[in-house]
Structure 1
Amino acid sequence: MLKLSNFGPGALVAAAFIGPGTVVTASLAGANFGYALLWALLFSVVACVILQEMSARIGLVTQAGLGENIRNNLTSGWLRWLALLLIFSAIAIGNSVYQGGNLSGASLGASELLGPVPVLDVWLSNAWALIIGIIALLILWSGNARVIERALIVMVLLMSVAFIGTFLLTDPDWGAVFNGTFGFSMPTGATLTVVALIGTTVVPYNIFLHASSVSKKWKTAEELPAARRDLFLSIPFGGLISMAIVATAASAFFGQQVEIESAGDLAESLRPLFGDGATYLMAIGLFAAGISSATTAPLASAYALCGIMGWSVNLRSRAFRIIWFTILVIGIIISSVGIKPVTVIWFAQVANGILLPIIVGFLWWLCQSPLLGKYRNSLLQNILAAIIFLISVVLSGRSLGSAFGFW
Structure 2
Amino acid sequence: MGKSLEEVNQSVLTQNKTSVFRKILAFFGPAYLVSVGYMDPGNWATDIAGGSQFGYALLWVLLMSNIMALLLQSFSARLGIVTQRDLAQASRETYSKFVNYILYFLAEIAIAACDLAEVLGMAIGINLLFDIPLVQGVLITVLDTFLLLFLINKGIRKIEAFIIALVMIIGISFIFEMIFAQPEVGKVIYGLIPSMPNEAALYIAIGIIGATVMPHNLYLHSSLVQTRKFDRSAAGIKQALKYNFIDSTIALNLAFFVNAAILILAAATFYKNGMFNVAEIQDAHQFLQPLLGTKWAPILFAVALIAAGQSSTITGTLAGQIIMEGYLNLRIQPWVRRIITRLLAIVPAVIVITIFGEGVTGKLLILSQVILSLQLGFAIIPLIHFVSDKSKMKGFHISIITQIAGWIVALIIVSLNAKLVFDEINGWLETSENPVVLWLTVVPLAAGFLLLLLYIIFKPFISKSKIDIHNHSPHNLKLRFSKMGSYAKKNVAVTVDFSNSDEVALNSAFELGGIEAKYTLIHIVETVGAIVYGENIDDHETLIDEKLLDEYKDMLSEKGYKVETQLGFGKPTKVIPKIINEGSFDILVMGTHGHTGFKDLIFGTTVDNLRHKISIPLLIVKI
Structure-1-length-normalised TM-score: 0.88
Higher RCO (Cα < 8 Å, 6 or more apart): 1
CA distance in 2, matches of 1:150, 1:271: 32
SS at match of 1:405: helix
Structure 1 residue 353 corresponds to structure 2 residue 373: yes
- 1:161-210: CA deviations, max 9, x gaps? 112321231010100000102x1110112111111111121111110010
Residue of structure 2 in register with 1:298 after alignment: 317
- 1:96 and 2:147 equivalent? no
Out of 204, 216, 220, the residue aligned to residue 209 of structure 1 is 220
Q: Distance in 2 between matches of 1:223 and 1:392?
A: 28
Superposition pairs of residues 7-406 of structure 1, within 5 angstroms: 7-74=28-95, 77=96, 80-82=97-99, 84-116=100-132, 125-143=134-152, 144-181=155-192, 183-188=193-198, 189-219=200-230, 220=232, 221=237, 222-254=239-271, 256-257=274-275, 259-274=277-292, 275-312=294-331, 318=333, 320-336=334-350, 338-339=353-354, 352-369=372-389, 370-405=391-426
Q: Which residue identity is paired with 1:277?
A: W
Moved more, 206-215 or 249-258: 249-258
TM-score, normalised with respect to structure 2 = 0.59
Bigger drift between 279-288 and 348-357 goes to: 348-357
Counterpart-to-counterpart distance in 1, 2:339 and 2:221: 20
User: How far is the alpha carbon of 1:276 from its aligned partner?
Assistant: 0.7
Identity %: 26
String of CA shifts for 1:371-394, please: whole Å, max 9, x gaps: 112210112211211111111221
C-alpha contact 1:357 1:393 (8 A) present in aligned 2: yes
Q: Which moved more, 1:286-295 or 1:144-153?
A: 144-153
Q: CA deviation at 1:258?
A: 5.3
Amino acid at match of 1:96: A
Aligned-residue offset at 1:134: 0.3
The 1-side partners of 2:355 and 2:67 are apart by 34
Q: In the TM superposition, what is the alpha-carbon distance from 1:133 to its structure 2 partner?
A: 2.6
Number of residue pairs aligned between Structure 1 and Structure 2: 389
- Asked if 2 retains the 8 angstrom alpha-carbon contact of 1:57 and 1:211, the reply is yes
SS of the residue corresponding to residue 233 of structure 1 reads helix
- Once residues 242 and 347 of structure 1 are traced to their aligned partners in structure 2, the CA distance between those partners, rounded to angstroms, is 20
Q: Residues of 1 paired with 2:149 and 2:65: CA distance?
A: 29
Partner of 2:615: none
One-letter amino acid matched to 1:270: L
Q: Aligned in 2, Cα 1:260/1:345: closer, same or farther, shift over 3 Å?
A: closer
CA displacement 1:31-58 (0-9 Å, x = unmatched)? 0000000000000000000000010000
Q: Is the 8 A contact 1:40 1:194 kept in 2?
A: yes
Q: Distance in 2 between matches of 1:336 and 1:304?
A: 25
State the shift of 1:302 in Å.
1.5
Preserved CA contact (<8 Å) 1:86 1:355: no
Deviation, 1:141, is 4.6
Give the Cα separation in 1 of the matches to 2:279 and 2:364. Answer: 20
User: 1 CA distance for matches of 2:58 and 2:73?
Assistant: 23
Deviates more, 1:332-341 or 1:276-285: 332-341
Mapped to 2, the partners of 1:402 and 1:137 lie a distance apart of: 39
Cα distance per residue 1:347-384 (max 9 Å; x no partner): 97666434322321111110111211221011221121
Distance 2:57 2:366 in 1: 30
Determine helix, strand or coil for the equivalent of 1:172: coil
SS at match of 1:126: helix
Greater radius of gyration (CA):
2
Greater mean deviation of Cα atoms: 248-257 or 352-361: 352-361
Structure 2 counterpart of 1:111, one-letter code:
N
Question: Structure 2: how far apart are the matches of 1:147 and 1:47?
Answer: 29
C-alpha distance in 1 between matches for 2:223 and 2:187? 40
Query: Aligned equivalents of 2:341 and 2:241: distance in 1?
Result: 32
Letter in 1 for 2:425: F
Q: What are the ranges of 5 or more consecutive residues in structure 1 without an aligned counterpart?
A: none
Q: Which amino acid in 2 is paired with 1:101?
A: A
Query: Is the alpha carbon distance of 1:133 and 1:213 closer, same or farther for their aligned partners in structure 2, counting shifts above 3 Å?
Result: same
The alignment yields a C-alpha RMSD, in angstroms, of 2.5
SS in 2 for 1:362: helix
**Higher helix residue share:** 1
1:261-307 Cα distance to aligned partner (Å, 9 max, x none)? 42122122101011212111111111111111222222112212221
Q: Could you say if the C-alpha distance between residues 95 and 262 of structure 1 is closer, same or farther in structure 2, counting changes exceeding 3 Å?
A: farther
Q: Check the 8 A contact 1:20/1:102 in 2, yes or no.
A: yes
The residue type equivalent to 1:395 in the other structure is: L
* Structure with a larger share of its residues in strand: 2
